[in-house]
Amino acid sequence: MDNVLLFPHLTFYTKEAMKRLELEVLERCSEVVENYPVIIKSKDPRLLGQGLHVRYIIDEYESLNKPATK
């Protein structure tokens, strides 16, 4: 295959993606410091047993459980 070029998958590595990652990390740290339930954004069912002081969000519009309060 002489006409094929292979490149690593680097679509996440944009300025916007890195800024979003930085902001989300700071938000999670802030939740811990302020004793708010930590938001976990994942569809991985293995994470559902992480504890009571956790809020799970599948995507921006859907939450697996009611928003927790302090």
- State pTM to two decimals: 0.55
- State both tokens at 58: 């599948």
| DSSP character at residue 68 | P
Q: What is the pLDDT of residues 15-33, one digit of tens each?
A: 888 898 899 999 989 988 9
**Which ranges of the chain would DSSP assign to H, the alpha helix?**
15-33
The band of 53, judged by pLDDT with boundaries at 50, 70 and 90, is confident
Q: What pLDDT score does 65 carry?
A: 46
